[in-house]
Amino acid sequence: MDSDAPYLPEEILTNILSRLPVKSLIRFQCVCKDWKNLFKTPSFMAEHVLHSTQQDSLLLLKSPGYKCNPEYVRLIHRDMQVLEYQTPPSSVRQRDIIGSSNGLVCLILMYKSSFILWNPATREVLRVPKAPNLYHTGICDLGFGFSPIVNDYKIVLLSLSSLDDDGVYLVQVFSVSKWSWKEVEVGKLKGMVSFVAPGFSFDGAIFWFGFGCKPRFRASKRFLISFDIATESFALITIPKSSLTSESRLTTYDNKLAMLSKSRVESTESFSIKLWVMEKRVGTSRKRWTWRKIYTSNPFPDRTYFLRSLTIWRNEIVIVGVTGGETVLVFCNLHTNEFKMLTMGKYSIGTVISAIS
Amino acid sequence: MSSSVEAITVLSSDGDEFKITVSAAKLSKPLNWMLEDVCFSDDCDEVPTIEVNSKTLVKVIEYCEKHAPRANSGASDSDAEELKKWDIEFMKMDVKDILFHILMAANYLHMEGLYDLACQTAADLMKGMTVSQIRKIFHIKNDFSSEEQEQLRRQHPGCSFD
């Protein structure tokens, strides 16, 4: 009866499937083994994320506090509707989010030092084997990211031999495609820097804010530490002094690494949000990177407590705040300079939300 | 290229003749190459064949002719809005009868716009289908053993293999 329907080449079929919503993907795992396996591959997940980004949704993940709260995954649709996304599997609750990349979320159960990979698109939960070596100080710093070059996700784990000045880093990397841990050279960072975890993943690398903790560096010296996921090597990138505050956050803008920072508006009590982008300088050998401040917001709205900036979504900076006892998302439009608020319900103050756009 | 040529004749895989305007053919690289071949060739009697059946080629040419003015000159927002509505109407077709053929044709003719549109349409249609309907149109056999089905059911309560 249906013999007239042609067999579609794999490339076309994959393109169609990657446009299906999560709900359909979960249903269609039951079609056949090939499809079930396809939905788990990094390249398919990357394509799926690409298409769902085009559909313009923002996924919000709320890190749980001491009490288990199952309602921490929300989806914000482009028409600003807050949707219940799905209830995360129980094994995912009460975890801290390390990061997300290409649709895969990496979480950690801190007191057990164990990692979990969660794919919200297929609801799959994978338990990562424990890192073979850890100093008694435990896990100091973490990062998670994806590199299209090697088509692999990696978890980076740093442990410090001692908290004294002579402590050295032990760096271990978990490759999702090889499903194993491996020790890598810390290189020129050797115990001279501290990381501000967790890392932010972008363009095949993981970035952390870092500061010098050895006499060689002045204590105030701050920079970005980058880890190339493909080559497994670290590098330091300078950042403009004025850009860094404790509320600084890495994000992406215009396909570039970007930084959001909060700074006081002169001689007032209010502050504004600044946006910096990092650009590759062509033709110079010494300083390959340069930062450019491209936006300064209007003063932040009154009577709204600033928690943290999250990300940039559809030309708006997204900030978590609290007003009148309720968690709100504050959207600051880069074109019109207007602030807009979206109430997220009565979460407790101090709730941390990370966003995947 | 002679500017006097406004349309060329092509053959479908079934051997039927079709006319396509020069500006519309520009939407597809392979079609554009064919057109240049025809225009520069001394032997103008040769009619190129496109490996797409007549039923599908009619639709592909219809799409090209509609989209050509915008692709060649750029368009205002209201035109883009109108074109979007036209695309939705244009894509109201049966998956197995024609949509899959259009997908293959758009892929073969390197027509990004049509390919994108057809993939999205197929995905939108699939959302409303059951697992067994999906297997039928994609010619897929259920290869899960009963134990594997049981395990999947445990992981995803409510999932269905039919």
Task: Please report, for chain B, the start and end positions of each structural domain, with discontinuous segments joined by +.
Answer: 7-145
Tokens of A38: 């396809």
pLDDT at position A343 over 80: no
Give ipTM to 2 decimals. 0.90
How distant is the Cα of A148 from the closest Cα of chain B, in angstroms? 23
The residue of B91, B135, B147 whose CB has the most chain A CBs within 10 angstroms, and thus the best one to mutate to test that interface, is: B135
B32-54 pLDDT per residue, tens: 887 777 666 655 566 788 889 99
Residue A104 β-bridge partners? A101
Q: Which of A201, A229, A203 is nearest to A97 (CA)?
A: A201
Q: Please, is B21 exposed, middle or buried when counting C-beta atoms within 10 Å of its C-beta (0-12, 13-18, 19+)?
A: middle
Cα dist from A139 to A109, A110, A196, A215, whole Å: 11, 8, 13, 24
- Averaged pLDDT for residues A49-60: 59
Largest CA distance in chain A: 78
Tokens of A351: 């709730």
The Cα B56–Cα A237 span in angstroms is: 55
The answer to whether the CB atoms of B104 and A5 lie below 8 A apart is no
How distant is the Cα of A21 from the closest Cα of chain B, in angstroms? 8
* Distance from chain centroid for Cα A152: 16
What pLDDT score does A348 carry?
Answer: 41
What pLDDT score does A23 carry?
Answer: 73
CA torsion, ordered A225, A229, A231, A236, to nearest 10 deg: -10
Higher pLDDT, A329 or A68: A329
Choose the weakest-confidence range: A307-311, B4-8, B31-35, B44-48.
B44-48
Residue A277 β-bridge partners? A258, A292
- Averaged pLDDT for residues B47-73: 87
Tokens of A9: 């080449």
pLDDT band, residue B105 (cuts 50/70/90): very high
**Which residues in chain A have their CB less than 8 angstroms from residue B112's CB?**
none
Choose which CATH entry (3.40.50.10310, 3.30.710.10, 2.130.10.10, 3.30.390.10) describes domain B7-145.
Answer: 3.30.710.10
Residue A340 β-bridge partners? A331
Cα dist from B130 to A25, A188, B37, whole Å: 12, 57, 47
How distant is the Cα of B104 from the closest Cα of chain A, in angstroms? 7
The Cα A309–Cα A258 span in angstroms is: 12
The answer to whether the CB atoms of B159 and A26 lie below 8 A apart is yes
Closest residue to B131, CB basis, from A2, A27, A33? A27
A118-132 pLDDT per residue, tens: 776 666 778 888 888
CA pseudo-torsion sign B81, A314, A84, A206:
positive
Choose the weakest-confidence range: A53-57, A59-63, A318-322.
A53-57
Q: Which residues are within 8 A (CB) of B74 and not within 5 positions of it... i.e. 6 or more apart?
A: none
Higher pLDDT, A111 or A317: A317
What pLDDT score does A87 carry?
Answer: 56
Q: Is B97 on the interface with A (CB under 8 A)?
A: yes
Helices (H), A178-329: none
Per the CB < 8 A criterion, the answer to whether A34 and B144 are in contact is no
The Cα A160–Cα A111 span in angstroms is: 17
How distant is the Cα of A90 from the closest Cα of chain B, in angstroms? 12
The Cα A14–Cα A10 span in angstroms is: 6
The answer to whether the CB atoms of B96 and A2 lie below 8 A apart is yes
- Averaged pLDDT for residues A285-293: 72
Q: What percent of chain B has pLDDT over 90?
A: 46
Largest CA distance in chain B: 69
pLDDT band, residue B70 (cuts 50/70/90): confident
Higher pLDDT, B104 or A353: B104
The Cα A237–Cα B81 span in angstroms is: 45
The Cα A25–Cα A17 span in angstroms is: 8
Choose the weakest-confidence range: A69-73, A127-131, A264-268, A326-330.
A69-73
pLDDT at position A63 over 60: no
The Cα B132–Cα B147 span in angstroms is: 19
Average pLDDT, chain A: 75
pLDDT at position A351 over 50: no
Q: Which of B121, B120, B118, B124 is nearest to B102 (CA)?
A: B118
The residue of A8, A14, A16, A18 whose CB has the most chain B CBs within 10 angstroms, and thus the best one to mutate to test that interface, is: A16
The Cα B91–Cα A225 span in angstroms is: 50
Residue A221 β-bridge partners? none
Q: Which residues are within 8 A (CB) of A307 and not within 5 positions of it... i.e. 6 or more apart?
A: A319, A320, A321, A322, A350, A351, A352
The answer to whether the CB atoms of B131 and A28 lie below 8 A apart is yes
- Averaged pLDDT for residues A239-244: 69
**Which residues in chain B have their CB less than 8 angstroms from residue A5's CB?**
95-97, 100, 137-139
The answer to whether the CB atoms of A6 and B159 lie below 8 A apart is no
Q: Which of A268, A208, A269, A274 is nearest to A242 (CA)?
A: A274
Instruction: Tell the residue number behind the tokens 């004749």, with chain if given.
Output: B9
What pLDDT score does A57 carry?
Answer: 55
pLDDT at position A203 over 70: yes
Per the CB < 8 A criterion, the answer to whether A105 and A61 are in contact is yes
Tokens of A293: 């401040």
**Which residues in chain A have their CB less than 8 angstroms from residue B137's CB?**
2, 5
Helix (H, G, I), strand (E, B) or coil at A348: coil
The Cα A28–Cα A22 span in angstroms is: 10
Helix (H, G, I), strand (E, B) or coil at A239: coil
Per the CB < 8 A criterion, the answer to whether A75 and A58 are in contact is yes
The Cα B162–Cα B160 span in angstroms is: 6
What pLDDT score does A150 carry?
Answer: 82
How distant is the Cα of B87 from the closest Cα of chain A, in angstroms? 18
Q: Is the peptide bond before A198 cis (omega within 30 degrees of 0)?
A: yes
The Cα B143–Cα A274 span in angstroms is: 55
What pLDDT score does A65 carry?
Answer: 44
Closest residue to A6, CB basis, from B100, B120, B155? B100
Q: Which amino acid is located at B79 in the chain? A: D
Helix (H, G, I), strand (E, B) or coil at A84: strand
- Averaged pLDDT for residues A273-285: 76
Angle at A62 between CA A60 and CA A65, to 5 degrees: 180
